[in-house]
Structure 1
Amino acid sequence: MENLPVPEFLQPYMPLIVGAVTALVIFIIGIIVAGWVHSLVARGLSKRQVEPSLVGFLASLARWLVLAAAVITALERVGLQTTSLIALLGSAGIAIGLALQGNLSHFASGVMILLFRPFKVGDYIGAAGKEGNVKAIGLFTTTLLTLDNETVIVPNGAATGSVMTNYTVSGSRRAHIAVGVAYGSKVPEVIAVLKKATERCELAMKTPAPVIAFVGLGASSLDFLVLAHCDPAVYADMLHQVRTAVYEELAVAGIEIPFAQIVVHQNA
């Protein structure tokens, strides 16, 4: 610059012009670097099979951090004091954080869900007192579709802040089907009939095999429990199939299913 002739009227403004040009160059380089960082973070997280929604958020966050650093550096080159600006932004961030602390809690829970994957889209879960198939996982909420075709929006903080049950992750779900038969029925015969009923059910898994247990002496019945595994996606259908088979096989075997009765005695 010293070898170039500079008009006298521009000489007082040369430091400002040089600073402005330098700031512009820094800002342009910052935009380019921010794009590189965004792509690098997105590719790195995708290779680790992180959820796409979290990948997009973290990649965008990295890009904006680079851009913020470029802007602050550029402002310093034109002679602006950025210390006060940084302090002001910090104070504003704290105030916003306090005002939105509930939403930030849901956001933090959403990040935990996307990172540690206690469940994924398609799983059938129970969380915050609700059950359903996971349709979407966001940074603030998780969307469930119940068996009644109701869409339920569960805040992520509520999902991670209570007991959560994933019925899908193990690959099978076990049903507990209670069966009561009349007193006087032979226990081995009942067990054989219940076993035959489960064997004719296509939706009940053969491995692990269904379990039949004599579990108690009820007020008016001998109580049995049928434990059968199935694919979580056909749980309701399997319950229907097994109960239907149990009823039919007990009827064929002549084993009575008791029902509540009221005996009224009338004095003469």
Structure 2
Amino acid sequence: ARLSNLSLSTSNAMEQALSSILPEEYVALIVGSATAIIILIVGLIVAGWVGNLVRRALTNRKLDSALVGFLSSLARWLVIAAAVIASLERVGVQTTSLVALLGSAGIAIGLALQGNLAHFASGVMVLIFRPFKIDDYVELSGKEGWVKDIGLFTTTLLTNDNETVIIPNGTATGGVIMNYSKAGTGRVPISVGVAYGSKVPEVIAILKQAAARCDAVKKDPAPVIAFVGLGASSLDFFVLGHCEPADYPNLVHQLHTAIYEELEAAGIEIPFSQIVVHNAAA
């Protein structure tokens, strides 16, 4: 509305000034073109001001920087689009049909890019609701790693093997999201099988000793160690160590190593699956 009022007042003043020295048909062309240029200039200035205003407002709300940048750019381009349409009207372009054409083109593009738009929508939801954030250790679509980047279309993980995994946001949010950093405590569960004939109290003591070897294992809550079952070829135990989220990847390696070395040092066998075949006499 302000741009329209500005264009009307500007064009009226220019028409009065030029009508006395130029033919009427030239006056309309010059006035329309000059007004269109003024509207564009003012629109660009206002667009920059609106973009900065939106950026400051969203930054104060502590939203993700990627989302802040996207929304501030969107606000700026909406103002620029309004200025362009107003400018075209001043030079005689029928903007109603142009807007309808752009709307139809937008629908066609949306249908063609619906997969990407789904990833985009998922990215916006991640940035707003924050099921995970930068430097969280997560499992997304079967991939575990540290979140290194959250974009509008993809999320980037750095795995324990130092591999960079780029996951489309629609895929990342389409299943269960395991955020090991969210609770503030990482959990490392390990299943251990030992040979039949092993003494259960002795095995439990050895597993406790293995957990105590790992500095990253928290004392509170204490490690959970239990005899949980009679397997086909082994006595089955369960070990659960708690740690800081940042220590989770290293503790997985350290705790497995400590358990294996302690059992080996004590002479306790870790069995492998066996099949016994009896040959019946003919």
TM class, shorter-length: 0.7 to 0.9
Deviation at 1:184, TM superposition (A): 3.8
Q: 2:179 aligns with which of 154, 157, 166?
A: 166
Match of 1:99 in 2: 112
In structure 2, list runs of 5 or more residues that go unmatched.
Answer: 1-12
Letter in 1 for 2:243: C
Rounded Cα–Cα distance in structure 1 between residues aligned with 2:117 and 2:47: 25
Rounded Cα–Cα distance in structure 2 between residues aligned with 1:147 and 1:253: 30
Match of 2:29 in 1: 16
Match of 1:72 in 2: 85
Rounded Cα–Cα distance in structure 2 between residues aligned with 1:5 and 1:240: 83
Match of 2:162 in 1: 149
Across the two proteins, how many residue pairs are aligned to each other?
A: 267
Rounded Cα–Cα distance in structure 1 between residues aligned with 2:185 and 2:43: 51
Deviation at 1:182, TM superposition (A): 3.6
1:207 matched to 2:209? The reply is no
Deviation at 1:233, TM superposition (A): 3.1
Q: Give matches, 1:32-111, under 5 Å.
A: 32-111=45-124
Q: Give matches, 1:186-197, under 5 Å.
A: 186-197=199-210
Rounded Cα–Cα distance in structure 2 between residues aligned with 1:240 and 1:11: 85
Rounded Cα–Cα distance in structure 1 between residues aligned with 2:81 and 2:58: 22
Rounded Cα–Cα distance in structure 2 between residues aligned with 1:235 and 1:56: 33
* Normalised TM-score (structure 2): 0.83
Rounded Cα–Cα distance in structure 2 between residues aligned with 1:258 and 1:4: 100
Deviation at 1:191, TM superposition (A): 2.2
1:239 matched to 2:239? The reply is no
Distance 1:114 1:5, change over 3 A: closer
Q: CA RMSD in A?
A: 2.6
Indicate the SS of the match to 1:169. Answer: coil
% identical equivalent positions: 67
In structure 1, list runs of 5 or more residues that go unmatched.
Answer: none
Deviation at 1:223, TM superposition (A): 1.6
Deviation at 1:246, TM superposition (A): 3.1
Match of 2:39 in 1: 26
Indicate the SS of the match to 1:121. Answer: coil
Distance 1:132 1:246, change over 3 A: closer
Deviations 1:106-161 (A, max 9, x none): 11111111111111222222222322222222111122222222222211111112
1:123 matched to 2:123? The reply is no
* Normalised TM-score (structure 1): 0.87
